């Protein structure tokens, strides 16, 4: 069985500040981990993913995440927030190599203050 | 860039009516999925479809739901008799089996 916990349903940062969105997972098999972003009234867009290999993965829009097996975490970071980063962010886990069936966390709404 | 397209973007239906949500997956993809997101809640897996049959379904996907790939390009989700609690955003996704699923923009279903 797999599950994802995102700590903090809402995070607010100032423009230019560090963004840190937390994600912890549980998986009985080696996990594949994903971060998706959802802008208002839009679909889900893949930010980045971890499958195997390098544990620090870089994604679009300056985001990156680090897979820490010992901590079962996959936190999302961005050094400097931009107003356009305001959105809902979802962490997801998959245990298969077929993409698709994803187990999502509850989501974290990111607000960016000017 | 290829994308998953869903129609309609918004559907309003009366309780008890049947609805069909339509999706056109990316053309060379073989795995298809439906997810739903009730307002303010997380995205939930409904069903996966491969080789013209359901490969996995969640407990949400009861007898009121069905999926079909009628013509080799469309992938549909049918809800036979809608309930108020079926109101949600429904996302279609497709994958070529290489880890990344591509999502459509979603269909917002409102049951009144």
Residue written as tokens 């993913």?
Answer: A49
The CA distance from A23 to A3, in Å, is: 10
Angle, CA of A27, B94 and A63, to the nearest 5°: 60
The CA distance from B91 to A15, in Å, is: 31
Q: What is the pLDDT of residue B1?
A: 73
Q: What is the pLDDT of residue A9?
A: 93
Report residue B7's pLDDT band, with 50, 70 and 90 as the boundaries: very high
Q: What is the pLDDT of residue B36?
A: 96
Q: What is the pLDDT of residue B106?
A: 94
SS3 at position A83: helix
On chain A, the residues whose CB falls within 8 A of the CB of B100 are 46, 49, 99
**CA distance to partner chain B, nearest, from residue A21 (Å):** 16
CB–CB contact A43 B45 (8 Å)? no
Report residue A96's pLDDT band, with 50, 70 and 90 as the boundaries: low
**CA distance to partner chain A, nearest, from residue B89 (Å):** 9
CB B6 within 8 A of CB B107: yes
Report residue A15's pLDDT band, with 50, 70 and 90 as the boundaries: very high
Name the range with the highest mean pLDDT among A29-33, A62-66, B29-33, B100-104.
Answer: A62-66
Q: What is the pLDDT of residue A4?
A: 95
The CA distance from B48 to B46, in Å, is: 7
Q: What is the pLDDT of residue B71?
A: 86
B37: which residues sit within 8 A by CB, 6+ positions away? B43, B44, B88, B89, B90, B91, B106
Closest residue by Cα to residue B37 from B109, B111, B95 = B109
CA distances in angstroms from B3 to B34, B92, B96, B101, B105, listed in the order given? 15, 11, 13, 11, 9
CB–CB contact B93 A100 (8 Å)? yes
pLDDT of A20 > 90? The answer is yes
On chain A, the residues whose CB falls within 8 A of the CB of B46 are none
Exposure on the CB side of residue B100, measured as CA atoms within 13 A = 13
In this structure, the strands spanning B19-24 and B75-79 are: antiparallel
Residue B2 CB-density burial (10 A; 0-12 exposed, 13-18 middle, 19+ buried):
exposed
Exposure on the CB side of residue A47, measured as CA atoms within 13 A = 27
The CA distance from A26 to A100, in Å, is: 18
pLDDT of B81 > 90? The answer is yes
Q: What is the pLDDT of residue B98?
A: 66
Q: What digits encode the pLDDT tens for the residues A42-56?
A: 888 999 999 888 999
Q: What digits encode the pLDDT tens for the residues B88-111?
A: 999 999 988 767 888 999 999 999
pLDDT of A99 > 60? The answer is no
On chain A, the residues whose CB falls within 8 A of the CB of B99 are 32, 49, 51, 94, 97-99
pLDDT of A100 > 80? The answer is no
């Amino acid at each position: 069985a797999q599950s994802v916990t995102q700590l903090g349903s809402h995070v607010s940062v100032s423009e230019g500040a560090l963004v840190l969105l937390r994600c912890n997972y549980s998986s009985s098999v080696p996990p594949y981990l994903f971060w998706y972003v959802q802008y208002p009234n839009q679909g889900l867009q893949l930010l980045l993913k971890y499958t195997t290999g390098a544990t620090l993965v870089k994604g679009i829009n300056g985001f990156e995440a680090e897979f820490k097996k010992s901590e079962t975490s996959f936190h999302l970071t961005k050094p400097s927030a931009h107003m356009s980063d305001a959105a809902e962010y979802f962490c997801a886990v998959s245990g298969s190599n077929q993409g698709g069936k994803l187990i999502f966390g509850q989501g974290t709404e990111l607000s960016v203050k000017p | 860039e290829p994308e998953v397209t869903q129609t309609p973007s918004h559907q309003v239906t009366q309780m008890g009516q049947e609805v069909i949500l339509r999706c056109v997956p990316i053309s060379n993809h073989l795995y298809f999925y439906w997810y739903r997101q009730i307002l303010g809640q997380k995205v939930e897996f409904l069903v996966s479809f491969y080789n013209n049959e359901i490969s996995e379904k969640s407990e949400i996907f009861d007898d009121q739901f069905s999926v079909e790939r009628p013509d080799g390009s469309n992938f549909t989700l049918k809800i036979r008799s809608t309930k108020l609690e079926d109101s949600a955003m429904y996302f279609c996704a497709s994958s070529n089996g290489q880890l990344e699923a591509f999502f459509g923009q979603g269909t917002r279903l409102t049951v009144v």
